[in-house]
Amino acid sequence: MKKRNMKKRITIQEADILLEKYYEGNTSTAEEKQLKDFLAQGRLPRRFDADKAILGYFAGKKQKPESVIIPFLRWASVAAILSGIILISKYIATDGSTSYAYINGQKYTNIQVVKEQALTSLDVVSSSPDEVAEIAKNLK
């Protein structure tokens, strides 16, 4: 004959004894489980309402803890989209003339003028091989 694992329901008198033990801090885990099962059943006398409230046996379901990651991901995606929109609008708003140079305090955007001035400046700055040899002799 198989042994059935049947839950024994406690009586109101047994519940009173267990509640007293519980408030004194003397109940075992098994006794607390019996008390939970007792308080979870319907049609109990109203005098057990306070015990239900204290022990957390409300009629509703347990609430799931809120996840912190999902709201963060939502805000991160919104920030990424807004950043993309700003960058694209700045790129579209530019007139395409990104090459420029200031020569004698005046801004030049013509690429040919900028190249000619750069080459002229390099010619003025560069030294001939003879100048380098003379400077090296003077340093000795």
* Consecutive 10-residue averages of pLDDT for the chain (140 residues): 56 89 88 84 83 66 63 86 89 68 82 80 66 69
Report how far residue 61's alpha carbon sits from residue 81's, in angstroms, rounded to the nearest whole number. 38
- In 3-state terms, what secondary structure has residue 106? strand
Question: Residue 5's pLDDT is what?
Answer: 44
Residues 6+ apart with CB under 8 A from 103: 113, 117
Would you state the pLDDT for residue 125?
Answer: 66
Distances (CA, A) of 119 to 78, 82, 113: 48, 43, 10
- Which residue blocks in 2-140 are alpha helix, DSSP H? 12-24, 29-40, 49-55, 69-93, 111-125, 129-139
C-alpha closest to that of 11 among 23, 2, 19: 19
**What's phi and psi for 29, nearest 5 deg?**
-65, -40
pLDDT value of residue 99: 66
